[in-house]
Amino acid sequence: MTAAWEEPIGYVLRASTTGFSVGTRVNQMGKPAFGSIVKAQPRGDEREWVYGLLYDMHIDDDPMVRQLVLADAVSEETIRDQHHHRIVPVEMNILAIGFRGYDEQIRHALPPRPPLSLDPVFLCNPDEIREIAASFDYFRIVLTTSQVSSEQLLAANLIMAAGTLPENEQYDFLVRAGREAARLLTNDMARLDSLLRLIYPA
């Protein structure tokens, strides 16, 4: 059985420097989740690996779905068939938070160039997650994004990142992350409080 991060979760649909959209099938939706760290892998050229946080999953309608929605009774088999043979992909939106440069170091900054269409997109493995979360420099990118509730996104990401650590290190990791968030949100106590409560409900 292959690990979740060994198979692509989708392919790049659209991209810009600040993020990209990934198209995927319904049956591939079980692996990625809100807050997951993903990477867009360049196809054989010299481009950088671009890392990002999954902040939105979008399911558009299509003509078939429109008709089925109006039908009186739709069988389970039809629904499953529709899921498998959708003509419109499920879209996942990714916020770019870093890239791996030519020196193999991960930089928490917007990438020099976006990934290209149809570049495969993978979930990061635990080692990569720990490598990225070893530094909290990407928090600023996340907390300044306007595309989604940044506290929700960061909290989801941190809980996932903590899960890659041994149990006895998880709390300290979350405290250190919380302190960095506190440093960045020092003038917005309401957001900070909301973020911290999402990470560690009383």
Residues lying near another protein in the complex (CB under 8 A) are found at: 171, 174-175, 178-179, 181-183, 186-187, 189, 192-193, 196-197, 199-200, 202
Nearer to another protein, 154 or 181 (CB): 181
- Under a CB-based contact definition with an 8 Å cutoff, are residues 38 and 22 in contact? yes
Minimum gap (Å) between residue 167 Cβ and another protein: 15
Nearer to another protein, 49 or 136 (CB): 136
Cα distances (angstroms) measured from residue 67 to each of 25, 45, 79: 20, 43, 12
Minimum gap (Å) between residue 28 Cβ and another protein: 34
Nearer to another protein, 80 or 179 (CB): 179
Cα distances (angstroms) measured from residue 159 to each of 38, 94, 148, 162: 15, 18, 18, 5
Minimum gap (Å) between residue 198 Cβ and another protein: 11
What does the alpha-carbon distance between residue 36 and residue 14 come to, in Å, rounded to a whole number?
19
Nearer to another protein, 81 or 172 (CB): 172
| Residue 108: both structure tokens together | 């928490």
Minimum gap (Å) between residue 186 Cβ and another protein: 4
Minimum gap (Å) between residue 153 Cβ and another protein: 18
Q: Hey, which bits of the chain come out as E strands?
A: 10-16, 19-24, 37-40, 49-59, 90-100, 106-107, 120-123
Minimum gap (Å) between residue 161 Cβ and another protein: 16
Nearer to another protein, 74 or 189 (CB): 189
Nearer to another protein, 50 or 195 (CB): 195
